[in-house]
């Protein structure tokens, strides 16, 4: 793939520069660590059943431990100032503008592999629908652009 990683890294740095998003990521990692630890201990003590019990109890403990300490990234992004949202949108548009048909093909393959892993998972179904609806739009966008890379 020829996706410009510098553009993606700039986008990530810009988004992660917001203090609330840093808090969200940190608290999410703390919760995930708690869930993972409980699952691990449960599995050691009771095998597969302990894994399930540890994961469930760890999830509940993580929810209580982090309750009220952070908001989801979508909530945080919605609360960003208009200028910051516009800047992020421009960076995303810049990445999309530089996509080539080969990139789209590779991204579609990756999405379809992920979708085939768990056809009953609602999140995977949602991603698959998003890809199915978005790919034609991006293809039209790419195909309508003049190729400025030709010498």
pLDDT bracket for residue 19 (50, 70, 90): confident
Summary mean pLDDT of the chain: 76
Listed by start position, the domains of the chain span 19-79, 99-145
pLDDT score at 92: 78
Cβ pair 108, 127 in contact under 8 A: no
Q: Residues 83, 60: contact at Cβ < 8 Å?
A: no
Over range 101-118, report the average pLDDT. Answer: 64
pLDDT band at 38 (very low <50, low <70, confident <90, very high): very high
| Separation in Å, CA 14 to CA 27, 75, 84, 136, 137 | 19, 17, 9, 28, 26
pLDDT over threshold 90, residue 135: no
**Between 18 and 51, residue with greater pLDDT:** 51
Name the residue with tokens 């969200």. Answer: 24
Average pLDDT for 63-81: 86
- Buried b / exposed e over 38-47, threshold 16 CB at 10 Å, is bbeebbeeee
Q: Is it the case that residue 34 has pLDDT exceeding 60?
A: yes
pLDDT of res. 79 = 84
pLDDT in the model for residue 83 = 87
**Percentage of the chain exceeding pLDDT 70:** 58
């Amino acid at each position: 793939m020829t996706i410009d990683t510098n553009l993606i890294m700039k986008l990530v740095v810009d988004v992660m520069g917001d203090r609330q998003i840093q808090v969200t990521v940190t608290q999410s990692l703390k919760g995930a660590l708690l869930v993972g630890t409980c699952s691990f201990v449960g599995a050691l003590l009771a095998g597969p059943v302990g894994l399930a019990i540890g994961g469930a109890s760890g999830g509940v403990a993580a929810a209580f431990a982090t309750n009220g300490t952070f908001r989801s990234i979508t909530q945080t992004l919605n609360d960003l100032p208009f200028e910051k949202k516009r800047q992020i949108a421009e960076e995303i548009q810049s990445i999309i503008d530089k996509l080539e048909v080969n990139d789209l093909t590779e991204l579609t393959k990756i999405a379809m592999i992920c979708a085939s892993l768990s056809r009953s998972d609602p999140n995977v179904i949602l991603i698959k629908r998003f890809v199915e609806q978005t790919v034609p739009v991006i293809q039209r966008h790419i195909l309508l652009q003049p190729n400025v890379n030709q010498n």
